[in-house]
Structure 1
Amino acid sequence: MSVHDAPRLLVLWCPDWPVVAAGAAAGTPLLAPAAVFSANRVVACSAAARRSGVGRGMRRRDAQSRCPGLVVHQHDPDRDARVFEPVAAAVEQHAVGVEVVRPGVVAVPVGGAAGYFGGEEALAERLLDEVSANAGVECQVGIADGLFAATLAARRAVFVVPGGSARFLAPLPITELDQPGDDRGELVGLLTRLGLRTLGAFAAIAERDVAGRFGRDAILAHRLARGLSQRPPLRRAPPPELEVIQEFETPLERIDEAVFIAKTLGERFFAGLARHGMACTRLAIVAVTESGEERLRVWRCAEPLTARATADRVRWQCEGWLTATAGDRPSSGIIRLRLVPEELVGGEALQLQLGAMGRDADAAERAGRAMVRIQGLLGPEAVLTPLLDGGRSPAERVRLIPWGDPRATVTADAPWPGRLPAPSPATVPRRTVPAAVLGAGGREVGCTMRGELTDLPVAIAVEGAPVLLVISWAGPWLHRPTVQAGNPPGAARVQVVLADSAADRTRALILAVTIGQNPQWTVEGIYD
């Protein structure tokens, strides 16, 4: 391994940063047990909360039962980044090339700064004192070859000797691969079940064997376990046209304006890289103010930036600059923003969005900008995109997300007993579509509490349409079997195939029926 493969870095880590930032914003006591939640699960907690048994991934109810005095905060990445700006600025006072990995973690190239201050330990002491004095934040420092090893060294306050990252990583648990934002929980679980308990055990496997057995993410994780950088950067100078510059006639001074601008810049930046088949892992954000001041911040990312991730970092950085204290805030509004890709990788490292490359890229960019424009005129809810999430019925599983908002599932991993199994219907009605299910002699078919139909379905009429004969059917399946006073009636589902002689084809439907004396049938979905 060469230094060129994994540059020597100093990482400054602020423990439990989401909790620290939330507490600073809310004014809660520093030593109080606290946790930050997203989708009712713990994403970060304080040391006091951990001593009471609270841990990452725990449900809110379980966490509060273990720690009744737990202070609850909601996850807010914008707040985390905004409050972290003074920390990054304090580090920047004594080091060149400061890179924000994520709120709570900054990386600094060791070479030049260590020589200037008289060694790595002297540099680390100077940065710790500076952050404590100017930002009022406790932090830890670690030094190693490569960002992954340096981050783990910072968590342990260790200085790893040059060339010793692989030896340092070898005894650490395999769970260290699942760092915040990396989403490697499934891979770590698989490696653990295979008996690979440490990073050294995983690193000992030949790279060709890892490539033959696992996916791309495992190959990148294998490089980290060996003490290498996650991926080699693209060894060519970025074309100048990849830079994105935005001029403002009216200086940018408000956060709501920054939010709108960030979306547009993120999409333009991503589309420009995609046209060249590249992706960015280090992004420089440069702001020029009306009075001629220039502010620069570099964001380093483990994964290549998407359009949304780029917009997030632009927004975070603008908010950090615009909301800083009087001494650190620019003296006037921002009149120019420039996004510069400082490190590139091949586009195959990122699953590029449909339409993001080739001759469709311009059309996709124009469409995206048009949708942002519509949102600016009519509001965020004017442009919605569907997302498949958790739920029992097909309609419950579809969530409409405003264009540009994070498309993260919330309840997809829940068990959802009684959910409709695959394959899902091709068409889900947006409104309730009533139906009539008839048995022999035209009698209405119902469903008992035991999940049995009161008659064999012979014909079906959907919302006043002509009656169609039933060719075959399956079910019923209870999916809300409990019937109690004051609760909604139980329900069941039935799949039917109908003969549509007028259209010379068959139709397949999924129907829902309420359980009880007065059955009500509705169409939940239509199969192709």
Structure 2
Amino acid sequence: MASGTADDRTPRVLVVWCPDWPVVAVTGDDPVAVTEGGRILACSEGARAAGVRQGQRLKLAQRLCPELELRDRDPEAETRRFEPVVAAVEAFTPRVEVIRPGLCAIPVKGPGRYFGGEEALAAKVGRAVADALGQPLVPDAVPGAPAVEERQPTAPPPAATAPRARVGVADGLFAAVLAARAGVLVPAGRTAEFLASYPVSALGDEALAELLGRLGLPTVGAFAALPAESVADRFGPSGTVAHRLARGLQPRPLVLRDEEPDLAVEQRFDPPEPSAEPLVFVARALAEQLHQRLAGAGLTCRRVAVEVACADGRTASRLWRHEGRLSATALAERVRWQLQAWQGAGTFTGTGDGDGDGNGNGEGREDTGFTLLRLAPDGLSPDQGRQLALWGQAVADDRVERAVARVQAVLGHAGLRRIEPAGGRGPGEQAVKVPWGEPYEAAVPADAPWPGRLPEVWPAVVLREPAPVRVLDGAGRPVMVDGRAGVSARPALVVVRGREERVDGWTGPWPAVEYWWDQSLARRRARFQVVVEGGRALLLTVEGGAWYLEAGYD
């Protein structure tokens, strides 16, 4: 098995993993699951016991567990709830990297020496995290120092038996994450052995894993045994990175520099800024400057430190790790999540409201408010470049992002919105307005089957609120629709704002019965398309015996 050289040693890393953290951050009775992109992102133990798994489609999950309660993902709540855990780990070293809410890492070298070794450090961190979560310490959550062959899993352990938080130690972040999931401390220099029995899908490259499987290399150990030169020739840069991870090395060799360039960007506020929201807009501009400085130096970074300071002398800093290019919008989101988490944890309670109660109604004081926002890149490495789209589309996207940042700085974060497709039956339900830069995932995909959905000839005008109308038959009686979608008579007149219009043609109904399982939300309605005199087409809805004008066609 290949190993690293003296200049290519992989640092020891301790990882704290909180299973199913998206579920922890939302409220709901067990069984509950958090969804993203029309699939299950995370689920509770009760849902898992019923057969619900990460990555399942919602229909399958609800069929396996009819009482399953679904919740949309809330990244802000995840960050806010994870802040006490990060603060507990930060007591051992300020170099805490938040990989994502629910997963953080620290280097072992310094803290391990101070706290009496890796075992002692892992035990102390495990106890601190358990106290921060307000839960009893689970013995398996704190690793000892077993030999790899005694505790090495043959596959990633099922989360069904995982405690609320686990600690793992190994060479490098990749292996340390897997060690945390297994709850083990991998001895130094034996990380490759620990990884050997994992499937190649654990490397995180689906295309590479599929190809290796077809080549008869189903495990990480089989892939790691290949010569590095042959892997580079056959699989290119991405294969080389995966091969180094499989061998227990860092993703790329260390690049020694005589002097680390100072590429940090910052904005000072004089007078102090009392609100956190403007800092989000400033963060977008600073992120653009940071990208430009990195590009000018031919570098990229794996981590970004978000640092803030207040007029009363308080400061706070947090490292965010990312893979690939962290856009200005994504970095601004992380700044917003972190500020909200700090305020929720009481780090900056009362900032800018003057009276210290945090409600923003006090008289301003000179010793309150934010005075500094700083973004500092960390983990610098040579930039290998990125593939541009045809006809300079990537450059155009960057220009759009910069223009959006300037407009939002004037109109506010929600002042500029984009239209996203959403699931629904009526025209007003099939599109939603989302603030630019905010992620959006429909609870049910827009292209999912929607019984009673209108055919794809969409109205040109959709009313904000449906307008009451009357629909009459030839004898002047109201037209009714029964429970079996039967029409009492042919529509002959539509009365809109007191004006009668003759119906020249009509089609329908399209009945829709929604939320029949919840009496507070249950709806039964039907839609009609009618053509009135003059060739104008209308979309009408009947619900509870009342008719409404919902939209109009050109």
TM range (shorter): 0.5 to 0.7
Match of 2:384 in 1: 348
1:110 counterpart = 2:108? yes
Which of 356, 371, 387 is equivalent to 2:404? 371
Counterpart-to-counterpart distance in 2, 1:264 and 1:431? 38
Partner in structure 2 of residue 172 of structure 1: 198
Contact 2:418–2:434 (CA<8 Å) still a contact in 1?
yes
Q: Match for residue 188 of structure 1?
A: 209
Q: Match for 1:244 among 259, 262, 265?
A: 265
**Structure 2 counterpart of 1:207, which letter?**
A
Quickly say closer, same or farther: Cα 1:94–1:265, change in 2 above 3 A: same
CA distance in 2, matches of 1:38, 1:59: 10
Counterpart amino acid of residue 76 in structure 1: D
**How much does 1:156 deviate?**
0.5
8 Å CA contact retained: 1:19, 1:34? yes
Q: Is the 8 A contact 1:258 1:319 kept in 2?
A: no
Q: Which residue number corresponds to residue 371 of structure 2?
A: 335
CA distance in 2, matches of 1:328, 1:227: 43
Question: 1:200, 1:163 → 2: CA distance?
Answer: 15
What pairs up with 1:208-219 in 2 under 5 angstroms?
A: 208-219=229-240
Residue of structure 2 aligned with 1:91, choices 89, 99, 103: 89
2:283 to 257, 262, 275: 262
2:23 match: 19
Instruction: Report the AA paired with residue 160 of structure 1.
Output: V
Question: Take 2:39 and 2:221, find their aligned partners in 1: how far apart are those partners?
Answer: 31
Closer, same or farther in 2 for the Cα pair 1:381/1:12, shift >3 Å?
Answer: closer
The question of whether the paired residues in 2 share the 8 Å contact of 1:233 and 1:344 is answered with no
Q: Which residue in 1 is equivalent to 2:32?
A: 34
Deviation at 1:175, TM superposition (A): 2.3
Contact in 1 for aligned 2:171/2:188 (Cα 8 Å): yes
Aligned residue in 2 for 1:78: 76
Give the secondary-structure state (helix, strand or coil) at the position aligned to 2:239. helix
Give the gaps of 5 or more residues in structure 1. Answer: 179-183, 391-397, 417-429, 433-483, 489-519, 521-528
Separation in 1 of the partners of 2:432 and 2:383?
30
- What is the CA–CA distance in structure 2 between the aligned matches of 1:388 and 1:207, rounded to whole Å? 46
- Which moves more between the two structures, 207-216 or 135-144? 207-216
Using the TM superposition, give the Cα deviation of residue 385 of structure 1 relative to its aligned residue in structure 2, in angstroms: 7.8
Q: For residue 468 of structure 2, what is the aligned residue in structure 1?
A: none
CA contact (8 A) 1:100 1:299 kept: yes
Q: Check if 1:221 corresponds to 2:242.
A: yes
What's the offset of the Cα at 1:199?
0.9
The Cα shift of 1:281 comes to 0.5
**Distance (whole Å) between structure 1 residues aligned to residue 246 and residue 57 of structure 2:** 30
Structure 2 residue 326 is the aligned partner of structure 1 residue 293:
no
Equivalent position SS for 2:229? helix
1:217-238 per-residue CA deviation (whole Å, 9 max, x = no partner) reads: 3332222111111223543344
Task: Give the counterpart of 1:277 among 298, 315, 318.
Answer: 298
SS in 1 for 2:25: helix
Matching residue of 2:472: none
Alignment of 1:116-515 (within 5 A): 116-136=114-134, 138-178=164-204, 184-236=205-257, 237-240=259-262, 242-249=263-270, 251-325=272-346, 332-348=368-384, 350-351=386-387, 368-378=401-411, 403-406=436-439, 486=509
| Residue matched to 2:150 | none
Partners of 2:172 and 2:250 within 8 A in 1: yes
AA matched with 2:326: L
SS at 2:218 equivalent: coil
Q: 1:401 to 1:278 in 2, by over 3 A?
A: farther
Counterparts of 1:348 and 1:409 in 2: how far apart (Å)? 35
Shift of 1:43: 1.3
Q: CA shift at 1:106, angstroms?
A: 1.3
Residue type at the aligned position of 1:371: V
2:454 is aligned to none
Give the SS at the match of 1:291. coil
Seen in structure 2, the aligned counterparts of structure 1 residues 364 and 303 have a Cα distance that, compared at 3 Å, is closer
Q: Output the CA distance in 1 between the equivalents of 2:304 and 2:104.
A: 14
Structure 1's 235 and 404: CA in aligned 2 closer, same or farther, altered over 3 A? farther
> Structure 1 counterpart of 2:181, which letter?
R
* Percent of aligned pairs with the same amino acid: 42
> Distance between the aligned counterparts of 1:127 and 1:234, measured in 2?
31
| CA distance, structure 2, for counterparts of residue 273 and residue 408 of structure 1 | 32
Given the two structures, how large is their TM-score scaled by the length of structure 1? Answer: 0.66
Shift of 1:255: 4.8
Q: 1:294 to 1:325 in 2, by over 3 A?
A: closer
Question: For residues 412 and 271 of structure 1, do their structure 2 counterparts lie closer, same or farther at Cα, with a shift above 3 Å needed?
Answer: farther
Secondary structure at 2:134 match in 1: coil
Partners of 1:215 and 1:36 in 2: how far apart? 36
Distance 1:306 1:235 in 2: 27
| Alignment check: 8 A CA contact 1:286 1:338 kept | yes
Paired residues, number: 408
* Structure 2 partner of 1:69: 67
* Letter aligned with residue 79 of structure 2: A
Secondary structure of 1:214's partner? helix
Q: Which is further off, 242-251 or 371-380? A: 371-380
When residues 43 and 185 of structure 1 are mapped into structure 2, their CA distance, relative to the original with a 3 A threshold, is farther
Q: Could you tell me which amino acid in structure 1 is paired with residue 295 of structure 2? A: A
> Contact 1:238/1:341 (CA < 8 Å) preserved in 2?
no
Could you tell me which amino acid in structure 2 is paired with residue 256 of structure 1? Answer: E
Moved more, 370-379 or 48-57: 370-379
Distance 1:43 1:384, change over 3 A: same
Q: CA deviation at 1:487?
A: 5.7
**Contact 1:84–1:104 under 8 Å retained in 2:** yes
Is the alpha carbon distance of 1:136 and 1:327 closer, same or farther for their aligned partners in structure 2, counting shifts above 3 Å? Answer: farther
- Contact 2:108 2:118 (8 Å CA) reproduced: yes
TM-score (norm 2): 0.64
Give the counterpart letter for 1:295 in structure 2.
A
CA shift, 1:69, in A, is 2.4
